Amino acid sequence: MSTATVSGTSGEDRSDYTRDESKAIRKRSLRLLGTLVTPVRGQLWLAAIVLVVSTAFRVAGPALIAYGLNQALPAAVNQMNWLPTIGVVVVYLVTGIAGAALIGWYVVVAARLTQAVMLDLRKRIFLHTQRLSLEFHESYTSGRIISRQTSDLDSIRELLDGGLNELVSGLLYGGFTLVALLLLDWQSGVILAVMGIPLFLLMRWFYLNSQVAYRESRVVSAKVIVKFVETMTGIRAVKAFRKETRNDDEFGQLASDYRDVNMRSIRLFGIFEPGLMAVASVTVALVLLWGGYRVLDGTMLIGTLLAAVVYVRNFFSPLQEVAFFLNSYQSATAALEKVSGVLEEEPTVPDPAKPVDLWAARGHIEFRDVLFGYSKDRVILPDFSLDIPAGQTIALVGTTGAGKSTLAKLVSRFYDPTEGRVTLDGVDLRSLHPKDLRRAIVMVTQEAYLFSGTVADNIALGKPDATLDEIEAAARAVGADAFIQALPDGYATDVNKRGGRVSAGQRQLISFARAFLADPAVLILDEATASLDIPSERQIQDALQTLLADRTAIIIAHRLSTVAIADRVLVMEHGRIIEDDAPEALIGGDGRFARLHAAWRESLV
């Protein structure tokens, strides 16, 4: 969670990039920046112009003072000509007020700009990560995806909100001041330019060191957060295995590491700030000395000297802020790199360019010579062919890791086969419009996730425009009605509120109702009955009969009782089907399934 990622799916965040990789990453984030800035480039130009003009106005002040002291005042005293003095006072006031007004305008324009960019970026990250295929989400940990949307966006916002203003206007102000000083009195300008060398060295030293400290502090702070989150999300395991004391020690260590790193970066400021002051004071002293000498000599006017000293002081004043925000600039670029990495991930199961229309799916599923592996080096389904006629109920059994869920994920098109094809009613799944695909094929897993909202909302997920009657009918059909009625507010119970908390089995019943309401042509149940107790599983057998009627069904279950309602049983091992027959035939035979079934029967008595 600390440094940039080249590709989200290729493992953890890392920092050891080759040159080419770093170049590619920089290009990638510039591309992102380009697409973010393009829609607001008008405002960007406006902000830039306003900033340049207001800075010029601000820089004009000391020069006007010099003119006032050198020319206007002597004219007033010697020739009683007050016009230049009044003129310079008026111009001074006008530039001062206009400069201030423009700065005010700039702040508003810049804020509107950064808010627009942030809104765009925030939405893009959400929409894009949601759109990415399951493969991405199975490998990119949720902690990392969360930090893309939270801490990374925060550091970009921090820079845009304050830092970038300070940085750009500080640098612009410094540059303008130097030019103005050179124009006013080139010798003082040269002194300032020469003193720019130790200044540059000091800033560089600070930047490089604080970059290291800053990075370290981000790494350590990420560790602190990860430790905390991991402990709290795994709190049941922590308590069960009495891991508290060990955690206390580890967390204490991380927290004190964090303090040490922070101390180090504060110490850097302890050197940088006095250093900056020293360079500034020496420069002022040199300008004053050399200028004073020339004033005495009669080759320099006192007004010019005063203006030169003010310019030098002004030059140094924003530098501390600039140095400070170099860090936020640094972390924002790192964040932008990571975010651009996620945004450039392509969905591994892309939508078809020209989808084939599938009006009413019948539910005929076929695997034709499918080869599939999650990665290139490990094949899960080596050579898989299977024909499931429309309306058939399949029970898929087999040892752990045989590839059952993998098969289910291929049917739902969470993944595409490496070779061969999976078809629905003869159409390759890759050619189906996602809407048709999701309407035709629904998978219910053991996870049975409930979203925040009411029970009714959660069932209606299967058919967003369903009426309450339809929702209740679906719940009745799968036997979920009774317990829902018993909840504090019935169907209107909030599943996240106390009292609305439902058990794992009840969650599964709700997800059955959801699937029933969706009414797909193909239904896949992957361990979807695992949390149901035996009596309710009995009930669920009846409910399943209702649920599975008139559609193709693939039931993956470790419990062999479920097999009874299947038309056909497939026994899978190491990515291959080793037995395939009607349940009675398999039970009566002497194959793998017969042995499993006999053992299971015995365990029941």
Chain CA centroid to CA 538, Å? 44
- Cα 477 from Cα 543, distance rounded (Å): 6
In the bound complex, what is the minimum distance in angstroms from residue 444's beta carbon to Mg ion? 13
Number of H helices and E strands in the chain, helices first, is 22, 10
In the complex with Mg ion, the residue whose CB is nearer, 47 or 572, is: 572
Give the bridge partners for 442, in sequence order.
523
Query: Per rule CB under 6 A, is residue 174 in the interface with ligand ATP?
Result: no
Which of Mg ion, ligand ATP, none interacts with 401 (beta carbon under 5 to 8 A by kind)?
ligand ATP
Query: Per rule CB under 6 A, is residue 405 in the interface with ligand ATP?
Result: yes
Minimal CA–CA distance to 122: which of 95, 91, 157, 93? 157
Q: Which stretch binds Mg ion (CB under 5 A): 107-115, 197-205, 356-364, 400-408?
A: 400-408
Task: Classify the C-alpha dihedral 561-566-567-573 as positive or negative.
Answer: negative
Query: Per rule CB under 6 A, is residue 400 in the interface with ligand ATP?
Result: yes
Query: Per rule CB under 6 A, is residue 480 in the interface with ligand ATP?
Result: no
In the complex with Mg ion, the residue whose CB is nearer, 247 or 531, is: 531
Contact 602, 430 (CB under 8 A): no
Position closest to Mg ion via CB:
405
Given candidates 113, 336, 402, 410, which one binds ligand ATP under the rule CB under 6 A?
402
> At 261, which helix (H) or strand (E)?
helix 244-297
- Cα 407 from Cα 283, distance rounded (Å): 75
- Cα 448 from Cα 450, distance rounded (Å): 6
* Site track 123-142 with ligand ATP (rule: CB under 6 A), x = hit: ---------------x----
CB neighbour class for 446 (10 Å; exposed up to 12, middle 13-18, buried from 19)? middle
Query: Per rule CB under 6 A, is residue 380 in the interface with ligand ATP?
Result: yes
Which of ligand ATP, Mg ion, none interacts with 318 (beta carbon under 5 to 8 A by kind)?
none
- Cα 475 from Cα 462, distance rounded (Å): 12
* Site track 316-355 with ligand ATP (rule: CB under 6 A), x = hit: ----------------------------------------
Q: Which stretch binds ligand ATP (CB under 6 A): 44-52, 159-167, 401-409, 511-519?
A: 401-409
**Contacts with ligand ATP: how many residues (CB under 6 A)?**
11
- Cα 508 from Cα 525, distance rounded (Å): 11
Query: Per rule CB under 6 A, is residue 228 in the interface with ligand ATP?
Result: no
- Cα 61 from Cα 96, distance rounded (Å): 7
Given candidates 218, 404, 514, 597, which one binds ligand ATP under the rule CB under 6 A?
404
Bridge-based pairing of strands 552-556 and 568-573 is: unpaired
Query: Per rule CB under 6 A, is residue 68 in the interface with ligand ATP?
Result: no
**Residues binding Mg ion (CB under 5 A):** 405
**Residues binding ligand ATP (CB under 6 A):** 138, 374, 380, 398, 400-406
